[in-house]
Amino acid sequence: MIDPRRLRILRAVADHRTVTAAAAALYLTPSAVSQQLAALEQETGHALLSRSGRGVRLTAAGEILVAHAHEVLAQLERAEAELAAYAGGAAGEVTVAAFATGIAEVLAPAIARLAHTHPGIRVRVRDAEGDQSLPMLLDGEADLALAVEYRGGPGADDARLSLVPLYAEPFDAVLPASHPLSMHPTVALAELADSDWISPYPGNPCHDVMATACELAGFQPRLVHSSDDFRAVVALAGAGAGVALVPRSALRGMELKDTVVRPVTGPAATRRVLAATRRGAESHPLLRPVLDALRQEATGLSPAPPGPRESA
């Protein structure tokens, strides 16, 4: 009989590619993980992992077992959800991993809504970058993730997750007030091909949005400055250090000294925001109201581009 707890460990190793990283994610020691994997190999009668450089990779038998693990663990999530529903009532704590502007745009208003509609649900928020919340969800550090689509990230067909699209958010161009295009009501990305650029670091989903949009506009941006803090990005633009693409919600309430903000024409620079649960848990009586509240707060968050904004 295969122990499903060991399947969860095998999946974590498959996700993280090293025993040490998987152990850290599961709050276990590397030796405990290795012992559980050895026991799983005894249970199945197959070698499940092989060394690959400094990490490990799944054998063919390991790939087969992980594919089944997704289904088994999803079914266990469904069983827990049904038992919780049978026990009656939505009362308990839900941990949500979310990025900063997603917290401000939809999660915080959803928490306020839930205080009236489901006072028994307590939401605990973990601040996480848009590409970090899904790994936290899969590792069991969160019950629900508010995340951003990104290159190489899980897609709608991922057997581990249930994904709920919430809204799409445009990026605006942030230019120094002295930029030659600062007097234009809108900016085409191709017109910024010769500018210096300020961008989040590679790996940040916002970097991916910027790079993809520029590629579609026919150029590769000349990246001069890097920061994952949009306040720093805007400050650098105000100092004349370069141009940037910034999510519209990140600009709300921000001091825009010596900059202009313009809607972008041409290839769309947009980030798509989604909510996610582990597959099978989406109907849990604690999670369903939170998902519903997020959907309600996300309604109408894809408005037409506003008129230009500026500050001198």
Q: What is the DSSP string of 180-225?
A: TTTTSSSEEGGGGTTSEEEEPPTTSHHHHHHHHHHHHTT---EEEE
What is the extent of the structural domain holding 204?
168-270
> Taking residues 60-88, what's their average pLDDT?
81
226 burial via Cβ count (<10 Å: 0-12, 13-18, 19+): middle
Token pair belonging to 14: 């498959």
CATH code, domain carrying 118: 3.40.190.10
CB 206, CB 271: distance < 8 Å: yes
Question: How high is the pLDDT of residue 85?
Answer: 62
* Total tally of structural domains belonging to the chain: 3
- Is 259 inside any structural domain? yes
- Is 309 inside any structural domain? no
- Is 108 inside any structural domain? yes
> What is the rounded distance in angstroms from the CA atom of residue 269 to the CA atom of residue 210?
7
pTM (predicted TM-score): 0.73
Place of tokens 């000294």: 257
- Identify whether residues 79 and 25 lie together within a single domain: yes
> What is the rounded distance in angstroms from the CA atom of residue 295 to the CA atom of residue 10?
33
- Is 224 inside any structural domain? yes
Q: Which residue has the higher pLDDT, 247 or 75?
A: 247
Q: Which of 48, 83, 118 is the last residue of a domain?
A: 83
Q: Which residue has the higher pLDDT, 73 or 303?
A: 73
- Is 11 inside any structural domain? yes
Token pair belonging to 120: 């028994």
Token pair belonging to 59: 């054998």
- Is 150 inside any structural domain? yes
Token pair belonging to 222: 């000349």
- Is 25 inside any structural domain? yes
Q: Which of 33, 66, 83 is the last residue of a domain?
A: 83
- Is 278 inside any structural domain? yes
The per-residue pLDDT of the chain, averaged, comes to 88
Question: How high is the pLDDT of residue 80?
Answer: 79
Contacts of 194 (CB under 8 A, 6+ apart): 222
CATH code, domain carrying 48: 1.10.10.10
> What is the rounded distance in angstroms from the CA atom of residue 235 to the CA atom of residue 62?
49
Q: How far is CA 159 from CA 133, 276, 292, in A?
A: 17, 12, 22
